[in-house]
A = this chain, B = another copy of it.
Amino acid sequence: MKQMNEENSSILSTGKLTIADIAEELGVSKSTVSRAISGKGRIGKETVQRVMECIEKHNFKPNSIAKGLADSRTYNIGVAFPADTDFINTPFFQICLLGVCEVAAALDYDVVVTTVKETDINLLKRLVEHRKVDGVILTRNFTNDIAISYLKKTGIPYVLIGSSDDDTIVQIDNNNVEACEKLISLLIADDVKGIALIAGDRKHMVNRHRCEGYYNALKNNGITLEPDLVFSDCSSSVFVEQAVRNILKRKVECIVCTDDVICGKVLSILREEGYTVPGDIKVASFYDSIYMQTNNPPITAIGFNAEELGTIAGKRLIGLIEGDTNRSKTVLDYEIHLRRSTK
Q: Chain A residues in contact with chain B, CB under 8 A?
A: 11, 13-15, 59, 61, 63-66, 68-69, 72, 74, 76, 81, 83, 88-91, 93-95, 97-98, 101-102, 105, 110-115, 123, 126-132, 153-156, 237, 261, 264-265, 267-269, 271-272, 289-291, 294-296, 298
Partner of A66 from the list B69, B269, B272, B290 (CB cut-off 8 Å) is B69
28 contacts between A and B (CB under 8 A): A13-B129, A14-B154, A15-B72, A61-B130, A61-B131, A63-B130, A63-B131, A64-B130, A64-B131, A64-B132, A65-B65, A65-B69, A65-B131, A66-B69, A76-B112, A88-B98, A89-B289, A91-B94, A101-B113, A105-B114, A105-B126, A110-B132, A111-B114, A261-B290, A264-B290, A265-B294, A267-B294, A268-B295
Residues A98 and B112 in contact, CB atoms below 8 Å apart: no
Contacts of A88 in B (CB 8 A): 91, 94-95, 98
Docked pose: A97 CA to B65 CA in angstroms: 24
Given A76-B132, A110-B130, A261-B294; 19 other pairs, CB 8 A cutoff: A11-B153, A14-B154, A65-B74, A66-B69, A81-B94, A89-B290, A91-B91, A93-B94, A94-B94, A101-B114, A105-B114, A111-B112, A111-B113, A111-B114, A113-B113, A261-B290, A264-B291, A264-B295, A268-B298
Docked pose: A289 CA to B237 CA in angstroms: 14
Docked pose: A83 CA to B59 CA in angstroms: 26
Residues B81 and A97 in contact, CB atoms below 8 Å apart: yes
Residues A294 and B61 in contact, CB atoms below 8 Å apart: no
Partner of A115 from the list B15, B76, B102, B126 (CB cut-off 8 Å) is B102
Contacts of A291 in B (CB 8 A): 264, 291
Residues A110 and B105 in contact, CB atoms below 8 Å apart: no
Residues A237 and B294 in contact, CB atoms below 8 Å apart: yes
Among A153, A267, A291, A295, max chain B CB count under 10 A is at A291
Docked pose: A155 CA to B15 CA in angstroms: 10
Partner of A14 from the list B65, B83, B101, B156 (CB cut-off 8 Å) is B156
Residues A98 and B69 in contact, CB atoms below 8 Å apart: no
Contacts of A91 in B (CB 8 A): 88-91, 94
Docked pose: A299 CA to B164 CA in angstroms: 39
Of all chain B residues, which has the CB nearest A129? B61
Docked pose: A265 CA to B15 CA in angstroms: 47
Partner of A105 from the list B81, B123, B237, B269 (CB cut-off 8 Å) is B123
Contacts of A83 in B (CB 8 A): 98, 101
Contacts of A101 in B (CB 8 A): 81, 83, 113-115, 123
Contacts of A97 in B (CB 8 A): 81, 94, 113
Partner of A110 from the list B98, B127, B268 (CB cut-off 8 Å) is B127
Contacts of A272 in B (CB 8 A): 296
Sort A-B residue pairs by CB-CB distance and give the 6 closest, nearest first.
A271-B296, A94-B94, A268-B296, A89-B290, A112-B112, A61-B129
Contacts of A105 in B (CB 8 A): 114, 123, 126
Residues A115 and B98 in contact, CB atoms below 8 Å apart: yes
Contacts of A290 in B (CB 8 A): 89, 261, 264
A278 smallest CB distance to B (angstroms): 14
A58 smallest CB distance to B (angstroms): 12
